[in-house]
Amino acid sequence: MTTANVLWGSRFRSGPSPELMALSRSEASHFRLAPYDLAASFSHARELVRAGLLTRAEGEAIETALATIGTDVAAGIITPSASDEDVHTFLERILIEKLGALGGKLRAGRSRNDQAANDLKLYLRDHGRRIVLSLLTLQEALAFQAEQHLNSLAPGFTHLQPAQPVSFAHQLLAHAQGFARDIGRMQDWDRRTARSPLGAAALAGSGIAKQPELSARELGYDDPCENSIDAVGSRDHVAEFLFVTAMMSVNLSRLAEEVFLWSSRQFRWIELDDAYATGSSIMPQKKNADIAELTRGRAARLTGGLSTILTALKGLPFAYNRDLAEDKRAAFEAVDTLSVVLPAMAGMIRTMRVNNAELRRQATDGFTLATEVADWLARQGVPFSEAHEITGSLVRYCEDRGIGLGDLSRDDLATVDARLDMSIKESLTPEAAVRARDGYGGTAPQRVTEQLERLRANFDSQREWAMRYDGPRAG
C-alpha cells in the first residue's frame, strides 16, 4: 500500500507496513456503513457551500457524484479494494476517481473522528427502528395466541414448581410486557442519541463547518452535540444500545426457555409447527425446539458484546482513541443476531398449537388451589397466619391419603379444622381461582382482555414511532 491510498500518509517517509495495515484495516462488515457515510457527505457538501469553500456548481457536482456512488455501491458495482483502509477512504477514493481534485475538496472541515461517530450513530438509529418493527411482529404473535387462550387454564409457576392457576394468555402476555419495555428503552435511547457529532472534526470543532445544527437537522438529529470532545470521544450511546439489545436478548431467552419446556414430552403444553422445528440425524422420532435453543444460545453474544464495549471504554483518556473501533463489531453483532432471531421466534410462536386439555389437567397439579383455602378462611375472619397453618395441614392430610383438595369430604374437612365446611368447595376450581384474581393486572379473563387491548394500542404507537423517522435509511 502506498501513502496515496490512506488519508494520513504525507507526514511519513514510507508507507505503512503490511502488518500495520492488516491490523488497522476495517473489517469487511464495517463497509456496511457506506450509505450513512454518503448521507453525511451530502450534508457536508452543503456545509462547504455555505462556508464558501465550494461554489454552488461544485457542490451540485459533488452531490451528483455521491448519488451515483450510492447507487453503484448498493448494486454491488463498486466495492472496496484491499487498499481501502476504511469506509471513508473507500468512498473518498471513488469520489476523487470520478471528480479529480474537486472530489478531494470534500474532506475540508471534517475528520474521520466525527465521521466515524456519525456513521455508527446513523446506522444504529436506523436499525434500532428495524429491530423494533421486528420485535413488534413477535409481539403480535404473542397477542394472537393470547387472544385465543383468554380462558385457557394453566398452572402458574414459582421456582419452577406449580403455584397457582393462571390464564395461559396471562402467561404469554407476561413476555409481551417485557418486550414492550424493551421497545420503550430503545425509544428512550434514541432520544438521548439524537445529537449529531458532525462539526466536531478531530476533537476541537471545525474551523470551516461552523453550522453543524443545519447538517444535524438534515440527517434527522434534533441538534448537534454540545461538546466537540465528547462528540468524538464518547460511545456511551453504543454501550446503551448494546444494553437495550442485550436485555432484549435476555427476554427472548426467557421466552425461548419456556417454549422449550412447554414443547417437551414432560410438559406437553404445546406442539410446534413442523416448519419451526427440527429433527435428529439418528433418532427419527425427535422433534426439537431448535429455534428456542438457538435463541437462548445467541443471547450470550449480545451480553458478551455489552461487556466488550464497557471494558473497551473503561479508562480511555481524552477525545478519540482507536480502541473505539471495537464499537462496530459489537453493534453489528447485536443487529445481525436480532435480525435472524426475531423473525424465527415470531413464526414459531404464531404457529404453535396449544394443548388446552393438558393445560387444564395440570392446572391443579401440586395443590395449586391451596391459596384459595387460605383466602377463604381469611374471608371468614380467620387471621391469615392461622389460615396459612390450617391450609398447610390440609395439604399434608391430602398427601398422606393420596387425594386432591377437590376430593375432600365434609368429614375430611372437619378432621383438619372445624371451621372448614363444604362451602369452600365453590372456591376449589381453577376457574374460580382465576376469576377471583380480578384486580388490575390480575389473571382474571376480563383483566387479561383489558391488558391485551392496552398492549395493542401500545403496539400501534410504537410502530408509528419506528416508521416515522427523518434520518437516512439503508436498503
β-partners of residue 288 are 278
Q: Is residue 389 within 8 Å of residue 397, measured between CB atoms? A: no
Amino acid 2: pLDDT: 43
Q: Which pLDDT score is estimated for 9?
A: 66
Given a contact cutoff of 8 angstroms between Cβ atoms, the answer to whether 112 and 88 are in contact is: yes
Q: Of 214, 182, 183, 187, whose CA–CA distance to 198 is shortest?
A: 214
Model pTM above 0.95: no
Cα–Cα distance for residue pair 104/116, rounded to 1 Å: 18
What is the pLDDT at residue 78?
A: 96
For the chain, which residues make up each domain, given as ranges?
19-108, 113-145+175-200+226-359+454-467, 370-428
pLDDT of the residue at 5: 58
pLDDT by residue for the chain (475 residues), tens digit each?
A: 344 456 666 778 788 888 888 887 888 899 999 999 999 999 999 999 999 999 999 999 999 999 999 999 999 999 999 889 999 999 999 999 999 999 999 999 999 999 999 999 999 999 999 999 999 999 999 999 999 999 999 999 999 999 999 999 999 999 999 999 999 999 999 999 999 999 999 999 999 999 999 999 999 999 999 999 999 999 999 999 999 999 999 999 999 999 999 999 999 999 999 999 998 889 888 889 999 999 999 999 999 999 999 999 999 999 999 899 999 999 999 999 999 999 999 999 999 999 999 999 999 999 999 999 999 999 999 999 999 999 999 999 999 999 999 999 999 999 999 999 999 999 999 999 999 999 999 999 999 999 999 999 999 999 999 999 999 998 7
Write the CA distances from 142 to 97, 169, 346, integer angstroms. Answer: 52, 9, 8
Beta bridge partners of 164: 156
Class of the CATH domain delimited by 370-428:
mainly alpha
In the prediction, which pLDDT does 33 show? 97
CA–CA dist 90, 80 (Å, integer): 6
Three-state secondary structure string covering 341-387? HHHHHHHHHHHCEECHHHHHHHCCCCCCCHHHHHHHHHHCCCCHHHH
Closest by CA to 239, choosing from 156, 368, 358, 120, is 120
At the topology level, CATH places domain 19-108 in Fumarase C; Chain B, domain 1 (1.10.275)
pLDDT for the residue 22: 81
What are the grid coordinates assigned to 308, written together? Answer: 466488550
The alpha carbon dihedral of 463, 468, 471, 472 has a sign of positive
The answer as to CATH 3.40.50.2020 being correct for domain 113-145+175-200+226-359+454-467 is no
Instruction: Give the residue among 302, 303, 297 at the shortest CA–CA distance from 336.
Output: 302
Could you give the CA distance from residue 450 to residue 242 in angstroms, rounded to a whole number?
33
Phi, psi of 439 (to 5 degrees): -75, 165
Q: Give whole-number Cα distances, 145 to 149, 162, 171, 361, 453, in Å.
A: 6, 22, 11, 20, 14
Given a contact cutoff of 8 angstroms between Cβ atoms, the answer to whether 124 and 186 are in contact is no
| Active-site amino acid positions | 159, 280
- Give me the pLDDT at residue 20, please: 82
